[in-house]
Chains A and B, each alone.
Chain A
């Protein structure tokens, strides 16, 4: 099984996780910039975080033969905090980076006027930089929030096939697919989807424009949920090729809209962990 997890917050995860991910077939990950669990108090905090997403985290991932990409944005939750608004101005500097494949996570948290402004501004960045968007849907009042999200994306003029609307469930999947956007599902214990419900959605809606992710972060989450969903699909009678489509080809297809994903390089470069880095890294060697 080859897996591209299109939503996982590796900054919050350990090297054990990287090892387990690679062991389960995860060869590439996309880490969306988001909230860090505790409020940030200044723009500097964002800059350091973004630097990590384009610097240290890809280095860490490479030690385990995993290609690490990210998305950059000011997240909706902190769009409401005046101390963090300046971060909106540093975002473009990172959007030009080659491993930044989308603008995200953007969207709504509490659907405030501030969130409206920041959402619109960042959809503008996406058009300017020719990048797809990763749109978060609110955890509270989800169906209403999802509809409003789709309206804003539609009005922005962004090609719907360049928008991934994430954290969906049985109640929101249809509107998103009907709008022509990509539908993302986070298989996350207790609060979001689980493997069995995901398989049922795939059985009902098919495989097109559907992405599965673990959304693993600093909460009680499981980075191997993509793999476990693959197993559940096979058990339910899906073919190996179906699993490959959902867990690898679909994320590759969606993120190719960035113009920055070198698929040949990705497929060649993640065949096995790089020997040179394995030897030369400063993480793997407990002995140092």
Chain B
């Protein structure tokens, strides 16, 4: 089951809603996160009753799935952003709006209706207990309407609000007696901003409560929605985690401050997501077919067939791959054609768990540099590997062979090295001139200790009258 991507219409605020929907369908989005807003299916506008069926028909025609978002800034109060909320004075208006949103969701066949708690009121000194009481009472009423219409609700933790993290959501559903209708809307950028767990682990923790997902880049401690690549999140493991937990809803880009370049952002975002999604990595056989020497693909197919009959064949043919298939880089995949072909051979073994690790270890142990490099790359491609292959990564990082060190620091290392080993490996890259861009998971795993190590490294370089590599400077200048 592949992931389904959507785009938040609040990032296309300068486009008419029907235009925005057509644009997203043309770009190949699977759905939209539709924020009811002034100018976008405004439920308080005069011609709302006329617009609703038209939008429903258009969504249907364009085959776009939809979730309803209710975070418009000035829809209820033209002067006060997000006001009123479920926990402020005047919450009745918010509850009424949410009930209305549920009915609209039912009309449009929405997969979820999403909402949040609201900030603690600035003008009222109310203890948190009382605010929680208001929240629970308000949410109960929305749930009642949602159950009536058979619409799923997604409650979204929002940094700075009364409920700002997954723990807060869990407290809320506990207080409500775990109502089935109240799922979780998880904004993955928020996870990076403030959750203790890594983003993929947040997804795993949310698990089957997930009914709606928002996605964008973000930096630790800064609640600013960023285009992909501008923040610190390593997305392939995040998307892999969504697939892993069996999430089937929309994963919608949430960039509400980017409307000035909305169509451009929407286009770049879907390209990025497709490239980062599991299974979207170039197929290894396609890479071999595209870059192998003449006869290389046929030779590989033959060896795969033989390995299927007798696994021991791999020990004989593994060294020959470069000769038979060639050694050129396979496009911008980060692999050479012999790496890709060797990983295909490893997959053909059909081994798992400890048996797979044992074979990888043997091939690495007796491998020349190219064979070892392929085994190291394979760690990030093969499924079913636990921590047991970490010694291979550590061996490679102890070497001074930059081909091995950089191959070792792929997704597997990012997921399995402990903090000390990971930091030392990153520092080794800096010392041996491997670009930090080649190191998987760096944005997520950079911590105070690694920054300290880099600072000392930079100071040593400067004291010796040498320059500091650009990527180290960039990392040190980035937000803490």
Interface residues of A, Cβ cutoff 8 Å to B? 54-56, 58-59, 93-94, 96-99, 260, 262, 277, 279-283, 285, 287-288
Once the chains are docked, how many angstroms separate the CA of A126 from the CA of B97? 84
Minimum C-beta distance from B364 to chain A (A): 11
* Contact in complex: B433, A279 (CB < 8 Å): yes
* Contact in complex: A55, B401 (CB < 8 Å): yes
Main secondary structure of the interface of A (DSSP, over half): loop
Query: Given A281-B402, A288-B433, does the pair A54, B369 have CB atoms closer than 8 Å?
Result: yes
Once the chains are docked, how many angstroms separate the CA of A96 from the CA of B466? 44
The reply on B366 being an interface residue by CB < 8 A is yes
Name which of B165-173, B276-284, B316-324, B446-454 contacts chain A: B316-324
* Contact in complex: B369, A58 (CB < 8 Å): yes
Query: Given A96-B320, A287-B466, does the pair A280, B434 have CB atoms closer than 8 Å?
Result: yes
Interface string of B356-371 (1 = CB under 8 A from A): 0000000000101110
Q: How many residues of B contact A (CB 8 A)?
A: 21
* Contact in complex: B368, A59 (CB < 8 Å): no
The reply on B299 being an interface residue by CB < 8 A is no
* Contact in complex: B401, A59 (CB < 8 Å): yes
Query: Given A54-B369, A55-B401, A58-B369, does the pair A285, B433 have CB atoms closer than 8 Å?
Result: yes
- Could you say which residues of chain A place their CB within 8 Å of the CB of B431? 282, 288
* Contact in complex: B368, A55 (CB < 8 Å): yes
Once the chains are docked, how many angstroms separate the CA of A94 from the CA of B318? 12
The reply on B258 being an interface residue by CB < 8 A is no
Minimum C-beta distance from A142 to chain B (A): 34
* Contact in complex: B366, A93 (CB < 8 Å): yes
- Could you say which residues of chain B place their CB within 8 Å of the CB of A58? 368-369
The reply on B372 being an interface residue by CB < 8 A is yes
Once the chains are docked, how many angstroms separate the CA of A158 from the CA of B108? 81
Query: Given A93-B366, A288-B431, does the pair A282, B320 have CB atoms closer than 8 Å?
Result: no
- Could you say which residues of chain A place their CB within 8 Å of the CB of B464? 287
**Which B residue sits closest to A95, measured CB to CB?**
B319
**Which A residue sits closest to B400, measured CB to CB?**
A282
CB-CB contacts below 8 Å: B14-56 with A: none
Once the chains are docked, how many angstroms separate the CA of A58 from the CA of B399? 14
**Which B residue sits closest to A259, measured CB to CB?**
B323
The reply on B432 being an interface residue by CB < 8 A is yes
Once the chains are docked, how many angstroms separate the CA of A283 from the CA of B400? 9
Minimum C-beta distance from B307 to chain A (A): 15
- Could you say which residues of chain A place their CB within 8 Å of the CB of B81? none
- Could you say which residues of chain A place their CB within 8 Å of the CB of B403? 59
* Contact in complex: B466, A59 (CB < 8 Å): no
* Contact in complex: B323, A260 (CB < 8 Å): yes
* Contact in complex: B433, A97 (CB < 8 Å): no
- Could you say which residues of chain A place their CB within 8 Å of the CB of B372? 55
- Could you say which residues of chain B place their CB within 8 Å of the CB of A56? 369, 399-401
Interface residues of B, Cβ cutoff 8 Å to A? 316, 319-320, 322-323, 366, 368-370, 372, 399-403, 431-434, 464, 466
* Contact in complex: A282, B402 (CB < 8 Å): yes
Once the chains are docked, how many angstroms separate the CA of A97 from the CA of B370? 10
Query: Given A262-B323, A282-B432, does the pair A99, B400 have CB atoms closer than 8 Å?
Result: no
Minimum C-beta distance from B36 to chain A (A): 53
* Contact in complex: A98, B401 (CB < 8 Å): no
- Could you say which residues of chain B place their CB within 8 Å of the CB of A282? 400-402, 431-433
Once the chains are docked, how many angstroms separate the CA of A94 from the CA of B316? 10
- Could you say which residues of chain A place their CB within 8 Å of the CB of B370? 98
Closest 4 CB pairs between A and B? Answer: A54-B368, A282-B432, A96-B319, A282-B400
- Highest count of chain A CB atoms <10 Å: which of B320, B322, B368, B431: B368
- Could you say which residues of chain A place their CB within 8 Å of the CB of B402? 277, 280-282
**Which B residue sits closest to A70, measured CB to CB?**
B368
Query: Given A55-B401, A59-B401, does the pair A96, B434 have CB atoms closer than 8 Å?
Result: no
Minimum C-beta distance from A245 to chain B (A): 26
**Which A residue sits closest to B438, measured CB to CB?**
A280
Once the chains are docked, how many angstroms separate the CA of A58 from the CA of B433? 19
Once the chains are docked, how many angstroms separate the CA of A97 from the CA of B372? 12
- Could you say which residues of chain B place their CB within 8 Å of the CB of A99? 368
Once the chains are docked, how many angstroms separate the CA of A280 from the CA of B403? 9
Once the chains are docked, how many angstroms separate the CA of A97 from the CA of B431? 30
**Which A residue sits closest to B338, measured CB to CB?**
A98
- Could you say which residues of chain A place their CB within 8 Å of the CB of B432? 280-282, 288
Query: Given A55-B401, A59-B369, A59-B403, does the pair A96, B433 have CB atoms closer than 8 Å?
Result: no
- Highest count of chain B CB atoms <10 Å: which of A58, A281, A282, A287: A282
**Which A residue sits closest to B401, measured CB to CB?**
A59
* Contact in complex: B369, A55 (CB < 8 Å): yes
- Could you say which residues of chain A place their CB within 8 Å of the CB of B399? 56
* Contact in complex: A280, B369 (CB < 8 Å): no
**Which A residue sits closest to B467, measured CB to CB?**
A287
Minimum C-beta distance from B268 to chain A (A): 29
Listed by A's residue number, 28 A-B pairs whose Cβ atoms lie within 8 Å are A54-B368, A55-B368, A55-B372, A55-B401, A56-B369, A56-B400, A56-B401, A59-B369, A59-B401, A59-B403, A93-B366, A96-B319, A96-B320, A97-B368, A98-B319, A98-B320, A98-B323, A98-B370, A260-B323, A262-B323, A279-B433, A280-B434, A281-B432, A282-B431, A285-B433, A287-B466, A288-B432, A288-B433
* Contact in complex: B368, A98 (CB < 8 Å): yes
**Which B residue sits closest to A281, measured CB to CB?**
B402
Minimum C-beta distance from A18 to chain B (A): 15
**Which A residue sits closest to B318, measured CB to CB?**
A96
Once the chains are docked, how many angstroms separate the CA of A280 from the CA of B435? 9
Minimum C-beta distance from A239 to chain B (A): 34
- Could you say which residues of chain A place their CB within 8 Å of the CB of B369? 54-56, 58-59
- Could you say which residues of chain A place their CB within 8 Å of the CB of B433? 279-282, 285, 288
Once the chains are docked, how many angstroms separate the CA of A83 from the CA of B133? 81
- Could you say which residues of chain A place their CB within 8 Å of the CB of B322? 98
Minimum C-beta distance from B13 to chain A (A): 46
* Contact in complex: B323, A96 (CB < 8 Å): no
Query: Given A55-B368, A58-B369, A260-B323, does the pair A96, B401 have CB atoms closer than 8 Å?
Result: no
Once the chains are docked, how many angstroms separate the CA of A1 from the CA of B308? 49
- Could you say which residues of chain A place their CB within 8 Å of the CB of B434? 280
**Which B residue sits closest to A288, measured CB to CB?**
B431
Q: 7 extra interchain contacts, Cβ-Cβ under 8 A, other than A277-B402, A280-B432, A281-B402?
A: A59-B369, A97-B319, A280-B434, A282-B432, A283-B400, A287-B466, A288-B433
Minimum C-beta distance from B151 to chain A (A): 56
Minimum C-beta distance from A218 to chain B (A): 21
- Could you say which residues of chain B place their CB within 8 Å of the CB of A260? 323
Once the chains are docked, how many angstroms separate the CA of A283 from the CA of B399? 12
- Could you say which residues of chain A place their CB within 8 Å of the CB of B400? 56, 282-283
- Could you say which residues of chain A place their CB within 8 Å of the CB of B320? 96, 98
Minimum C-beta distance from A31 to chain B (A): 14
- Could you say which residues of chain A place their CB within 8 Å of the CB of B368? 54-55, 58, 97-99
Once the chains are docked, how many angstroms separate the CA of A287 from the CA of B464? 9
